[in-house]
Amino acid sequence: MTLDEALLEMKRIYSNDPVVAVRGQAFIKLLHDFLAEQLDARLSKAAQRRGIKVAREAMILGSHKPKNVDVAVIDPTNGPLLVIGVRSQMSSVSKNVLNYYEGIVGECISLQDRFPMAVNGYVYLMPMRAIKVGSESQTIDHQRYARMYAQITGRAGQDYKSTRGVYDHFAYMVVDFNEEQPVLLDDLVTAAAPHAELRVDNFVERMIATFSERHLFLSVFD
């Protein structure tokens, strides 16, 4: 599945019934599948022989309680090697975004407390303009949100294992769903946060590169 194909199907599902699409998770699971398929395609033969797998909705123990991780690469002996959270927010953005922001930072801390060497990533999708009927007039401050997410990405350096609340990589997807083929507006995000890499098209590659840099002797990805 390509990203364009995923976004087009997401638009169709959401337009048919926004409530069912969100509550039933049919909408966001297409993005889960896109990311999982990219990771699965990169697993090395050695990793497959070892039993390392890409899991969707994996139950992982955080520092205080179990957490359903949307996409994870899991070693059968050593646990999660790479974890990705995924969220979409298609309406009532300004009302809820700060609470969600606090939540995803807390989620990051919880997982890093227990698995400091795992590579942590997050993908956040919002529409350029709300497309839910009755919500079209809502304004979404994408520039502000891009700067917010830029502040919680980029865990790096030799002391990365002691860093908490900062993801290794983040992708902020602003999508114009009003086009016949939904369009990803990376230029808008880059202009707002030019010093952070927040694109989704290279997100999986960035996650794999970080893992490979940290684990020189593990042949998990090709």
Q: What is the pLDDT of residues 87-110, one digit of tens each?
A: 999 888 888 899 999 999 999 999
Residue 56 class from Cβ within 10 Å (0-12 exposed, 13-18 middle, 19+ buried)? middle
Determine the residue type at 40.
D
pLDDT at 131 over 80: no
Strand partners, 170: 122
Q: What is the pLDDT of residue 24?
A: 85
User: Which pLDDT score, from 0 to 100, does residue 13 have?
Assistant: 94
Note whether residue 191 is domain-resident. Answer: yes
pLDDT in tens, 48-93: 999 999 999 999 988 888 889 999 999 999 999 999 999 999 888 8
Q: Residue 155 burial (CB < 10 Å; 0-12/13-18/19+)?
A: buried
151 lies in some domain: yes
pLDDT exceeds cutoff 90 at 19:
no
Domain limits at 174?
3-214
Work out how many domains the chain is built from and give that number. 1
Does residue 219 belong to any structural domain of this protein? no
Q: By the 8 A CB rule, do 201 and 185 touch?
A: no
pLDDT band at 163 (very low <50, low <70, confident <90, very high): very high
Query: Does the residue 56 lie in any domain?
Result: yes
